[in-house]
Structure 1
């Protein structure tokens, strides 16, 4: 018993470190607090009304066995830095609900497939699937890194707050037509997603109240803050992500 207690005491700091070493924000909603944990790359964790929601868990960023188990997991597309089966299995339980794209869903049993434009309520949370694709950046001539119709961004509604997690995308017409977005996570991982200029163009069009750049790679975030300076109604928040 003493040996087991000793092992447990060794593990507790490691488990605490997984949470405490990452930046978090708490957003007030009309139906309780939304806690956002900024993990890295395209990976986020939301906690709301006792539920844990993982977005694109990616094992190169952290040991997900140290994270809370998921009630809900959302996968934006099939690329290995967004669909990581090992990380997925570390946070998934038999009761976890998975919301995925059609391409991702082909290899995952028990999943909920959402196509571009779909809206569903899962575990009491309204989820809308927004097209995520490239307009400019190409893998080769005429072949985008992210083709239209394959990937999803997601708008999740928490109480009176609408949170948009864009996935891997550029400043598409569908993004720019979004309305009443309180929080937006927009990617700047070149050459796969957006430049600071593209993010600025989109943010000035749909005016999220809070803009978090994420999945930023080596992008100079000061360019975005300079371009967004003076834009009324949009607060740019920079958070440390691996």
Structure 2
């Protein structure tokens, strides 16, 4: 009897720990083809559920235990840096028919997947995916090279029904953002020295004009600065989630 009680207590404790690991913030977005559920895992890592499809974006074990998350139908990798490309996480999430979308430099490490270059468009399981530029202009390494070189990294515009979601990846407020049309939701990175300052994000928002902005990959950046900069932009809702 005592052994059974102890076993039950241990089991319940393990369940509590497991649930805590999966206790991500979640938003549900209505689309013309059903609900889009977004799980905010951390940093640049997201999970989306749409019409029984599971989409993982930049899955990294540092931010979640992927053995406890659903397998992927689609995995999107923005670029080759270790806080966005994690071979172990991808291997854990893969199943027989998982579609992996990545850059050339990611493919060189993965040895599998479909390469998308800036400007490419693919339809994957009836979801339209556009690869768009993501790079630095201002912020550079000590050797003078930008942290993210033009043409090497992707952002993605994903269409779910009537909603267009922009996942910017690691980028600054680059001129190509002016070409992004009808963006409903934008995920824009905001941390130094690798991506954008709050001022850069505000400029990007004014170029893109999303209906909803999620700052992500923001490290220790004070998100209140961004809110203050965009206080007069009434047509864009800023939603702060745990994505540092």
Query: Where on the TM-score scale, by shorter chain, does this alignment land: which range?
Result: over 0.9
For 1:227 and 1:239, how far apart are their aligned partners in 2? Answer: 18
Q: In the alignment, what sits opposite 2:184? A: 182
Corresponding residue number in structure 1 for 2:70 = 68
5+ residue gaps, structure 1, are: none
CA–CA distance in structure 1, aligned partners of residues 15 and 34 of structure 2: 28
Shift of 1:141: 4.7
Q: In 1, distance between residues paired with 2:87 and 2:58? A: 10
2: CA distance between counterparts of 1:162 and 1:52? 17
CA distance in 1, matches of 2:15, 2:126: 32
Task: Decide which of 201, 204, 209 is 2:203's aligned counterpart.
Answer: 201
Match of 1:110 in 2: 112
**What is the TM-score with the length of structure 2 in the denominator?**
0.92
SS at 1:138's partner residue? Answer: coil
Q: 1:103 to 1:185 in 2, by over 3 A?
A: same
Q: Please show how residues 1-242 of structure 1 align to structure 2 within 5 Å.
A: 13-19=16-22, 21-241=23-243
Cα contact 1:35–1:46 (8 A) shared by 2: yes
Equivalenced residues, count: 238
TM-aligned CA distance change 1:69 to 1:12, over 3 Å: farther
1:234 positional shift:
0.7
SS in 2 for 1:197: helix
Q: Distance in 2 between matches of 1:193 and 1:175?
A: 14
- Higher mean displacement: 125-134 or 173-182: 173-182
Alpha carbons 1:14, 1:66 under 8 Å: kept: no
Larger radius of gyration: 2
Aligned-pair distance for 1:236?
A: 0.6
TM-score (norm 1): 0.93
CA distance in 2 between partners of 1:8 and 1:32 (Å): 36
Matches of 1:107 and 1:39, distance apart in 2: 23
Residue 147 of structure 1 and its aligned partner are, at CA, apart by 0.5
2:15 and 2:100 mapped to 1: Cα distance? 28
Report deviation, 1:106. Answer: 1.8
Change (3 A) 1:11 1:72: farther
Counterpart-to-counterpart distance in 2, 1:231 and 1:150: 32
Instruction: Tell me the secondary structure at the aligned position of residue 155 of structure 1.
Output: strand
1:87: Cα distance to partner?
A: 1.4
Question: What are the superposed Cα offsets for residues 93-140 of structure 1, whole Å, 9 maximum, x if unpaired?
Answer: 222110000111123233111000101101111000010000100012
Q: Once the 2 structures are TM-superposed, how far is the Cα of residue 9 of structure 1 from its aligned partner?
A: 7.0
In the alignment, the residues of structure 2 paired with residue 194 and residue 155 of structure 1 have an alpha-carbon distance, to the nearest angstrom, of 19
Which secondary structure state, in structure 2, belongs to the residue aligned with residue 153 of structure 1?
Answer: strand
In structure 2, runs of 5+ residues without a counterpart are none
